[in-house]
Structure 1
């Protein structure tokens, strides 16, 4: 299984991902899957500049990611998968991508989302999507940096109301 971990992080590639998570996971490839960002060359270029030496980086849409995984393109690599939205993870799972664990790093407190941790706020649809992912047997934790104790998703959303 090439994906060693997936992360929902609305900032996608940034210092914490390429330094701290890189040191913990030692991926061979950072894979950003986002149907909008993949078409924004200036943003893609800035993300590529932060890529650690000795790693690859893909910034592609979900259909291309599914095709690449199905064709075996990443079979010999350890892939750290990064997306902005839980819905993208569902699409990848529906496409046959195996994901061992989902780490929620940053989802901004905007658009009426309910804050469940220091860096994670969710709306009703995102909670529903995450529960669908969890129902597939995938462990979901909230963990901003590797040194933080992971918080189980179910525990974090308990006793919250979501709009």
Structure 2
């Protein structure tokens, strides 16, 4: 299993991911793991149009991702995992997938979420899930684009209350 990074980004695949993060990480495969989007052919097709040349792209649900990782399907690839929710990463980790780091990209400001940076707002469940990931030794950072300095998750949530 060669996950090189994981990103929580509610937009999933967009220009910043396929251009700037692709240049920085050089993944062999973009892996979008989402239980809703993976069953929407039109959205999957539009995401695939942005796939950089020379890379693969999987848009699959969590169970299929777990099965594919367990079967060694990606052992020879550098995989960049992209999810909407931190809970998905916990499910992957519970199945034995090693996540070396988590980047919080875009998490929309919505009712019930507290803004912790320009592009990241979280609710209490998301904070709890991220703390669980961090407790397993996985560093979590906020970094919109590679050129930005990263901000640690712990520093970003300090002095905030969550609903």
TM-score w.r.t. structure 2 length?
0.99
Q: Extract unaligned runs of 5+ from structure 2.
A: none
Spell out, residue by residue over 1:35-57, the C-alpha distance to the aligned partner (whole angstroms, 9 max, x if none): 01000000000000000000000
Spell out, residue by residue over 1:114-158, the C-alpha distance to the aligned partner (whole angstroms, 9 max, x if none): 000000000000000000000000000000000000000000000
2:52 maps to: 52
How far apart are residue 112 of structure 1 and its match? Answer: 1.8
- 3-state SS, counterpart of residue 138 of structure 1: coil
- 3-state SS, counterpart of residue 127 of structure 1: helix
Spell out, residue by residue over 1:16-68, the C-alpha distance to the aligned partner (whole angstroms, 9 max, x if none): 00000000000000000000100000000000000000000000011110110
Looking at structure 1, the residues matched to 90 and 9 of structure 2 have their Cα atoms a distance apart, in angstroms, of 15
- 3-state SS, counterpart of residue 106 of structure 1: coil
Looking at structure 1, the residues matched to 121 and 93 of structure 2 have their Cα atoms a distance apart, in angstroms, of 23
2:72 maps to: 72
How far apart are residue 111 of structure 1 and its match? Answer: 2.3
Residue 30 (str. 1) matches residue 6 (str. 2): no
Task: Give structure 1 regions of 4+ aligned residues with deviation exceeding 4 angstroms.
Answer: none
2:13 maps to: 13
1:13-162 equivalence runs, <5 A: 13-162=13-162
Looking at structure 1, the residues matched to 104 and 114 of structure 2 have their Cα atoms a distance apart, in angstroms, of 15
Q: Extract unaligned runs of 5+ from structure 1.
A: none
Looking at structure 2, the residues matched to 118 and 14 of structure 1 have their Cα atoms a distance apart, in angstroms, of 18
TM-score w.r.t. structure 1 length?
0.99
